[in-house]
Structure formats: C-alpha cells, structure tokens
Chain A
C-alpha cells in the first residue's frame, strides 16, 4: 500500500479540467513502449474517491519529463508535474531504486548526482585560463554537473569557454563553489532536497551579485528559469548567448564546416522553453554547413530518454530505446552529423549510434563543438 489523498491531489494539480482527450498519451514517447499512460492515470485519480494506491505503478519512473503531454494539452493540465508529484510519494517512503538513492545522496553530500568529489568540479579547466566570478564579471557561466565531470561533455564545456573568450564576452565561473542546480533531484520527486538546494544556490548567487548567467545544459537553464523563484537574475542557454553574439558580430566563423548536419531539439530547450531558433541560428551561421531537418523537429522532437532522472534509471522497458529511434530518424535525413545542445542528449544519442553500429555514417556533436571547429 502506498496511499495518497487523491481528492487533494486532484485539486492541487487541476486535474478536474481534464476531458480525457488522450492527447497527452497519444504524444507520450513512453506510452508506446511502457505502461505509462498519463490520460488513464488522471482518470484513475479522478474516479478514485478519497484514496489512490500507487503500489505497483513502476511506470511512473518511466516518464522522461519531455513536456509533450502538457504542451499538447488543450485544457492546461500538466500530467508531467502530476507524475513528478506521485514520484514524491515513493521518495517520502524511501522506496526508490538504489541508483536514484545514490544520485540523491551524492547530490546532498557532494553537490552533484555523479558521486564525484566536490573539489574536482573545476578539473575540466585544465591548462585553460578561466576567470572566477569572484573577480567580478558581466555573466556567470553556470557549467553544471555532467559538463563539469563527464569526460565526453567536458569537451563541450571547453569549447564553449574557447568560443566565448574569443568573442570577448566577460564571464566567470564558480569553480569548486558550484553546486548542482537540483533539476534532476526535483524531477526524481525529492522536493525537500530541491528546496534546500534552491536556497543554497540563491544565497551563493546573491552574495556574488550575479544578475546574468548562462548554462551548458538546457536542464540547468530550465531549472533556474522556471523552478527557482523569480529573483531578478536573467538566465540563458549558451546557444542563446552565441546567437546574440553572432548578431552583434562579436562572434564570427571563418573556417568552413563542410558537412550536412541535422539538429535534435533537446526537450528542455525546445518543448519546455520554446528555444527553437537560436541553436539553428548558430548552425546556419557556420560557413559550409548544410542544415537538414528531421520530420520530427521543433515541437515534435522525439525525446532521447535522458531527462526526468532517467540518466539513473533504465525504465521498465530498456529494450527499445528512444535514442536509437531518434538516431534512425537522423540517419534517414542523410546527415553526417547529428547536432544537439544538451549534455544528456549528447550522451544518449552517441551511445545509440554505437549500438546501431552507425559510427561510420554519423557523428553526434554538440553545437559548441561544431562552432569551435569553424572558428
């Protein structure tokens, strides 16, 4: 028994607005391969009277929080937030997957969900010279956990730094002071820990006088933009900063990148925040590059299955991976490069290319990496 007060839940989440049209489930990328059915879940909550038993609802952990459900909903219901809240009921009882437990504990102890030591957070800097935000700067570059520690994504981080230093943008980093933004913690349903992190991070940003910042990951971007209380600081994704620099000609590309590229819209940049054009603007600004679109692009972009804490969870049906479906769609365009602008997408798509033995045909790159080659 894992009982919740469904009457209160239905009220809090505005589920009475639901007309059971099924747009959420019809578009849900996980509904095809798992038991996750947002429409039916809402229906069950609506008819359950006072109590609803979550026992056995493992599919709640399948949700990638890709935003398709609520972006399609004609009644402004947000099934994704309902799923996150229901996960919270599991978390409260400590009934979570060991991986999730480790990630949450690591975030609490080390400020990152990757069980990496806090003091190594700025190790990616290596021999580069990067200003500390303590010296004062116009922008804070909030690097993020995966871009700080993951050896593959560190390359993206270094590329962003090289590009922006070249453009003359005045920015600094937090270094070892940087703490996880809490995005994944929140999506795994650990709201208490998330609130604690929000407080800590806000304190840090406030004490350093940060007013403008940008992030590597769309997930951190979204957390600061939408999950943190509105507090006067402006947050952008790095592709937005670059698009702006291209416009003012502070950034320009001289070397041609003679390849056809297709762009995968990360959920947390596109569907969640409507940032569709800026990443494309950067790609289109690169000489020699041909941008070809997949059929499912922009609002219809297929999730890579890396969000909503799914980097720590296989899900109930690990057999068919969305990332592999996505890579197949990318291959159909004939593009040589599958570009993205999200650390999670980069890792999942790259793994899918390996699984499909398509390394000879397609390379997965972050927009920053492509841009650096054209500098």
Chain B
C-alpha cells in the first residue's frame, strides 16, 4: 500500500510573541497549499488545552497521519506535542516542529519578509513531515542501585537521600576520610555553628546505613554502560570491584586556590600570611602567629577569584562571607585586635548574609575598599600595600596576620574525571550542567547527575540543596524501574559499511563497535544519543540517524532552496510580495 501523507499544520500565535510580527493567518493560508497538507489552522496558544484538542480532533476527524506545529523551540514544547499526537493514537515521531518564534518572530522586525521566513520554515517542516517514519520507543530495566563519587558534604547527603528512598548506594571516596573540605572548617556562616556538629552526624548515618557501602581510599577507574545500567570498576588498593548501578551522582568537590600563584602576596614565604582555610584550623586551635596573639589582622578578598590573569574569571561566591565570619571570630576571640578587610565588592547575597555583614561591621571590623597589590616585610610584621579606592590614596597597613580569602578552583583531576564519565566542562573548568536554569543537576549524559562544588563554587547550604536535588533526580529512573530509550538513534546499512571504524572514533558515547563476525559496524541503540557525528564521519554514507535521515534532511532543504511555490527574498525590501 502506498503511503499517502495527510498532514495537519498548526500555527501558534504564542500570544503576541509570534502574531505581532508574523502574519499567522497568511502562514496558515499558505500552508494549506503545501503538498500533503490537509488542514492548517492558527490559534492563540497551541500548547494550551484547547489548542491541543484542535490537533486531536483533526487527527480523529480528518484522519491525519502527520502533524506539524509551527511555534517555539523543540526544547520548549516538542515533548508536549509528541504527547498530544500519541494521545490521539499517532506515533510520537510522526510529529514535526517549525520554530517560528526563536528563529523568526523574536529575531526579526515585523514585515512581509518575516512572514515569508515563517512560511519557509513551515514548508521545510512539512516536507520533512511527509518523510517521517514511526519509531518504536523502547524501555530498558533499571538496576536499583546508585554510585556516588566523592565523600564530601554533597556526596554524603546525596547517598543518605538515595539510601533512605530504599536503594543501594556505593559511595566512593578517594581520600582516607569522609567529610571532604567541610571537615577542615571550624564554624559556619551566617550562624557561627560548629561545622563538626553538622557534619559528624551525617558521616555517622552514612557509615551505619544498611544500604550504603562507603569505600574510602577508593577510586572509580572505569565507567561503561548507560542510564539504568552503568558498569563501573572501582579500585581500592590492589582490588578492583565491579558494580552495576542505575544512576551515577558526581560530587567530586573542588580545590582551594593555591595562593603561591600570587607571589606578590608572599604566601609560603612569610609565616604571617595564611589562607582562609589555614585560618579555620588556627581558629580551632587558638589564633596565634609565631607564638603570639596578633594585634592587627588584615583580610584580603578575591585571592584567585575574579582573576582573568590566572584563568579564574569567576567569583568564588563564598569568600566574602567566609571573611566576614573569620573577621568576627578574630574580634570575638581577641577583643583588643584591630581587624580590617580589603575588598572589591562585598557580595552578601544569601539569606541572612547582609545582616551578618552588618553585624560584622558593628563588631568593629573595618572594611576598606581596594584589593591589595603586594605584601612586603617590615621587621616582625608584614606590610599590606593597597590603594584605599574610596580615599583614592595608596595605603600601607602593618599587620601581624594577613588572611588571604582563597577561592575555589576545579580539581586538578577534573579533566581526567570528565574523560572517564564523558562529562562536559564549562568555561570556568567546572563540570557543566545540562541547563543552567531548567536542568541544574543533570548532565548531557542521561543517568549522570552533579552535586556540590564540582559544578561550581557553593557554600554548605547550597551544596546540600544541590545534593538533595541531584539525589531526587537520580531517584526518578531508580524508582520508575525502567527508562525510555531514545528512538532517534543511528543505524548502519550493512550493505554499504566497510567496517573502517571512523564512526567509532567520532562517537563520544562508545555506541559503535565492529561486529566480530560480519565485519561491519553495529550501533548499541541504548548508548547512542542520536547526535549524528557517526553519520557525518562515515565515508561511504552507510550510517543514517532515525528521524534525521539524509532523505528527510534533503526534503527539508529542497523545500527551502528550490520549492517552486516559494520565492527566496533577494533583498530586504518592501516590495517582496508573497506569492501563494
């Protein structure tokens, strides 16, 4: 039986987002004339319930077998409309989207050319729709266990949450102790609580939990598989253990900026110059320098942060409050001391932070605007040389103790871990989340989640929030017990494949392998993410990607470049008239 496309086209106004610049009625009128199109409508909000009902009714009444919605980005509403057509009995892959908002109405002024472009995009989408094929969405079972990499505050909290939900957790920590950097901290901000009192109960719960296996001095050395079924190798001493887990949570933490990279500040040269991390230990043991209580203490902010000369352009986000906390601790412990803080901007953005900063100044901590340029020696003391930018004068402040507010940097092994887990990194070097707003704990790899400072600098409360969010996200596949597998994956035409393996070299997901007997490449459809790199690399055109086949692409392009029905605008002028 010959397939006859019966396409329904739906033009969305998106309120006035599209309708104010695109003549939606004209686009609908144009769409009706396209080959294969049975019906075209325009409506205020296609994504609304009545909008979706329009589509469903047409599918039933007009016997549509393909649907095109011209609205926003597929990232926004492709899942919505796929569900709509599936609800009406169509295969979800029989749906195609034309983005006439982000790619048209939002980026062009109103006028005939903008409407013309919307028409072209619709024509292109219709051309593809007539070549679409139904695809099968498969489900694979999920191993009911999780791996958490990193035993800091983030990893501990995430492990607890996943284990409490009833799943087995393996927590792998490289060092000999759990607790991470938090274990080196003395008090918190903005509440001045003991960090040990917060952290130790969590560590104890993790250690005693029947469903958590915490492995210290252990390292993940290999990760294979896919969401729901990761195969992981963990080395501990001489032994290598193999695990099967459904989800992986990465909480590998950060490194403290090495202040020796700022030689002008004399860290590692002058005993009077320490870092905020050094100060935490000092605060616990008693604030002394060379066996004496310091009379004058100077704090310096932004050491290693907001610094493009070092390749750390970002703000480390915690140092302002760490400094305020430590300055207060000095004033409280040594009431005779003179404490000043040199800053560029005080970033007290969190809940109760500004109030904490107010209290810090009320306790006598002097804030001076300007970031010191260098520290030199004078007798028993060191001299901080800076400009007080509010005075507009260079100043020299003699000090017995200088505390450098060192920022957070990505761990030195971030690159290696990224390679192991196929994680992307953002420009600042930390791991990259899937979307900064909508998917902050997910990664581009399904089943892999991020928590804590491995994704960027954070304080303890943000770390805990993110850890719990990542645990919840990881629990979605674990609790559902099965995961859908993307159907738009690549496939090999074995008649054309020579087994050269160039596709496997391009594949970032290890989804292609040489068949040992047939001598051709095969695709693991569960690992394949449908990116198409293999199809582009294949010298003999043997690889295609379902839902993005060469045939479908060519139909789309043909509709754009030589569609007889549609003139391409040759110049931006008023006299371009749409010929329908």
Chain A residues whose C-beta falls within 8 Å of the C-beta of B395 in the assembled complex: 26
Q: Complex formed: what's the CA distance from A226 to B302 in Å? A: 30
> CB distance B344 to A26 under 8 Å?
no
B307 within 8 A of A: yes
> CB distance B308 to A300 under 8 Å?
no
With both beta carbons as reference points, the residue of chain B lying nearest to A33 in the complex is identified as B394
Q: Complex formed: what's the CA distance from A72 to B308 in Å? A: 11
Nearest CB on B from A297, distance (A): 10
Chain A residues whose C-beta falls within 8 Å of the C-beta of B263 in the assembled complex: 298-300
Nearest CB on B from A293, distance (A): 10
Chain B residues whose C-beta falls within 8 Å of the C-beta of A23 in the assembled complex: 371-373, 386-387
B456 within 8 A of A: no
> CB distance B392 to A74 under 8 Å?
no
Q: Complex formed: what's the CA distance from A72 to B263 in Å? A: 10
B374 within 8 A of A: yes
Scoring A21, A37, A298 by chain B CB atoms within 10 A of each residue's CB, the highest score goes to A21
Nearest CB on A from B386, distance (A): 4
Give which listed residue, A19, A26, A31, A76, contacts B372 with CB less than 8 A: A26
> CB distance A26 to B387 under 8 Å?
yes
Beta-carbon contacts under 8 Å, A40-89 to B:
40, 68, 72-76
Chain A residues whose C-beta falls within 8 Å of the C-beta of B306 in the assembled complex: 19, 74-75
Nearest CB on B from A18, distance (A): 11
B4 within 8 A of A: no
Chain A residues whose C-beta falls within 8 Å of the C-beta of B377 in the assembled complex: 295
Chain B residues whose C-beta falls within 8 Å of the C-beta of A20 in the assembled complex: 344, 389
- Chain B, 371-385, contact with A by CB distance < 8 Å: what is the 0/1 string? 111101100000001
> CB distance A72 to B344 under 8 Å?
no
Chain B residues whose C-beta falls within 8 Å of the C-beta of A31 in the assembled complex: 387, 394
> CB distance B344 to A28 under 8 Å?
no
Given A20-B389, A39-B387, A40-B392, A27-B308 contact (CB < 8 Å): no
Q: Complex formed: what's the CA distance from A32 to B395 in Å? A: 8
Given A21-B302, A32-B394, A300-B264, A72-B374 contact (CB < 8 Å): yes
> CB distance A27 to B374 under 8 Å?
yes
Q: Complex formed: what's the CA distance from A31 to B372 in Å? A: 14
Chain B residues whose C-beta falls within 8 Å of the C-beta of A239 in the assembled complex: none
Q: Complex formed: what's the CA distance from A22 to B385 in Å? A: 10
A25 within 8 A of B: yes
Nearest CB on A from B316, distance (A): 13
Q: Complex formed: what's the CA distance from A37 to B263 in Å? A: 23
Given A37-B387, A74-B307, A298-B263, A21-B371 contact (CB < 8 Å): yes
- Chain A, 270-284, contact with B by CB distance < 8 Å: what is the 0/1 string? 000000000000000
Q: Complex formed: what's the CA distance from A32 to B374 in Å? A: 14
A24 within 8 A of B: yes
Number of A-B contacts (CB under 8 A): 84
Q: Complex formed: what's the CA distance from A17 to B308 in Å? A: 10
B176 within 8 A of A: no
Scoring B371, B374, B387 by chain A CB atoms within 10 A of each residue's CB, the highest score goes to B387
B151 within 8 A of A: no
> CB distance A26 to B264 under 8 Å?
no
Size bin of chain B's contact surface: 20 to 34
Nearest CB on A from B382, distance (A): 10
With both beta carbons as reference points, the residue of chain A lying nearest to B385 in the complex is identified as A26
Give which listed residue, A40, A75, A300, contacts B374 with CB less than 8 A: A300
Q: Complex formed: what's the CA distance from A53 to B377 in Å? A: 40
Give which listed residue, B307, B310, B345, B370, contacts A26 with CB less than 8 A: B370
> CB distance A68 to B373 under 8 Å?
yes
> CB distance A39 to B389 under 8 Å?
yes
Q: Complex formed: what's the CA distance from A25 to B308 in Å? A: 18
Nearest CB on B from A320, distance (A): 13
Chain B residues whose C-beta falls within 8 Å of the C-beta of A40 in the assembled complex: 389, 392
A259 within 8 A of B: no
With both beta carbons as reference points, the residue of chain A lying nearest to B377 in the complex is identified as A295
Chain B residues whose C-beta falls within 8 Å of the C-beta of A73 in the assembled complex: 309
Q: Complex formed: what's the CA distance from A212 to B386 in Å? A: 41
Scoring A20, A25, A73, A296 by chain B CB atoms within 10 A of each residue's CB, the highest score goes to A25
Nearest CB on A from B481, distance (A): 51
With both beta carbons as reference points, the residue of chain A lying nearest to B378 in the complex is identified as A295
Q: Complex formed: what's the CA distance from A298 to B310 in Å? A: 18
Q: Complex formed: what's the CA distance from A73 to B306 in Å? A: 10
Q: Complex formed: what's the CA distance from A296 to B385 in Å? A: 12
Q: Complex formed: what's the CA distance from A188 to B264 in Å? A: 28
With both beta carbons as reference points, the residue of chain A lying nearest to B303 in the complex is identified as A74
> CB distance A27 to B307 under 8 Å?
no
> CB distance A74 to B309 under 8 Å?
yes
Beta-carbon contacts under 8 Å, B157-179 to A:
none
Q: Complex formed: what's the CA distance from A25 to B307 in Å? A: 17
> CB distance A22 to B308 under 8 Å?
no
Nearest CB on A from B561, distance (A): 40
With both beta carbons as reference points, the residue of chain B lying nearest to A30 in the complex is identified as B394
- Chain B, 452-485, contact with A by CB distance < 8 Å: what is the 0/1 string? 0000000000000000000000000000000000
Q: Complex formed: what's the CA distance from A23 to B343 in Å? A: 11
Give which listed residue, B264, B310, B370, contacts A21 with CB less than 8 A: B370
> CB distance A26 to B309 under 8 Å?
no
Q: Complex formed: what's the CA distance from A75 to B392 in Å? A: 20
Beta-carbon contacts under 8 Å, B65-109 to A:
none
Chain B residues whose C-beta falls within 8 Å of the C-beta of A22 in the assembled complex: 369-371, 373, 386-389
Q: Complex formed: what's the CA distance from A73 to B392 in Å? A: 17
Beta-carbon contacts under 8 Å, A101-146 to B:
none
> CB distance B309 to A27 under 8 Å?
no
> CB distance A74 to B308 under 8 Å?
yes
With both beta carbons as reference points, the residue of chain B lying nearest to A26 in the complex is identified as B373
> CB distance B392 to A26 under 8 Å?
no
Give which listed residue, A21, A26, A72, A75, contacts B394 with CB less than 8 A: A26
Given A39-B387, A75-B308, A25-B394 contact (CB < 8 Å): yes
Q: Complex formed: what's the CA distance from A40 to B387 in Å? A: 10
- Chain A, 222-243, contact with B by CB distance < 8 Å: what is the 0/1 string? 0000000000000000000000
> CB distance A76 to B309 under 8 Å?
yes
Beta-carbon contacts under 8 Å, B354-381 to A:
369-374, 376-377
> CB distance A72 to B302 under 8 Å?
no
Chain B residues whose C-beta falls within 8 Å of the C-beta of A27 in the assembled complex: 264, 373-374, 385
> CB distance A37 to B309 under 8 Å?
no
Q: Complex formed: what's the CA distance from A72 to B385 in Å? A: 12
Q: Complex formed: what's the CA distance from A37 to B387 in Å? A: 9
With both beta carbons as reference points, the residue of chain A lying nearest to B382 in the complex is identified as A295
Nearest CB on A from B395, distance (A): 8
Nearest CB on A from B266, distance (A): 8
Chain B residues whose C-beta falls within 8 Å of the C-beta of A68 in the assembled complex: 373
Nearest CB on B from A326, distance (A): 13
- Chain B, 298-323, contact with A by CB distance < 8 Å: what is the 0/1 string? 00001000111110000000000000
Q: Complex formed: what's the CA distance from A74 to B389 in Å? A: 16
With both beta carbons as reference points, the residue of chain B lying nearest to A298 in the complex is identified as B263
Nearest CB on B from A264, distance (A): 15
Beta-carbon contacts under 8 Å, B396-432 to A:
none
> CB distance A24 to B373 under 8 Å?
yes
Chain B residues whose C-beta falls within 8 Å of the C-beta of A26 in the assembled complex: 370-374, 385-387, 394-395
Q: Complex formed: what's the CA distance from A73 to B370 in Å? A: 12
Nearest CB on A from B346, distance (A): 13
Chain A residues whose C-beta falls within 8 Å of the C-beta of B374 in the assembled complex: 26-27, 72, 300
> CB distance B373 to A19 under 8 Å?
no
Residues of B near any A CB (own CB < 8 A): 263-264, 302, 306-310, 344-345, 369-374, 376-377, 385-389, 392, 394-395
Closest 3 CB pairs of A and B: A27-B373, A26-B373, A22-B387
Name 18 extra pairs, CB < 8 A, besides A21-B302, A22-B387.
Answer: A21-B344, A22-B369, A22-B371, A22-B388, A22-B389, A23-B371, A26-B373, A28-B394, A31-B394, A39-B389, A40-B392, A74-B302, A74-B307, A74-B310, A74-B371, A295-B376, A296-B376, A300-B264
Q: Can you list 11 A-B contacts with CB-CB less than 8 angstroms, sorted by A residue number? A: A21-B344, A22-B370, A22-B389, A23-B373, A23-B386, A25-B389, A26-B395, A37-B392, A68-B373, A72-B373, A298-B263
Residues of A near any B CB (own CB < 8 A): 17, 19-28, 31-32, 37, 39-40, 68, 72-76, 295-296, 298-300
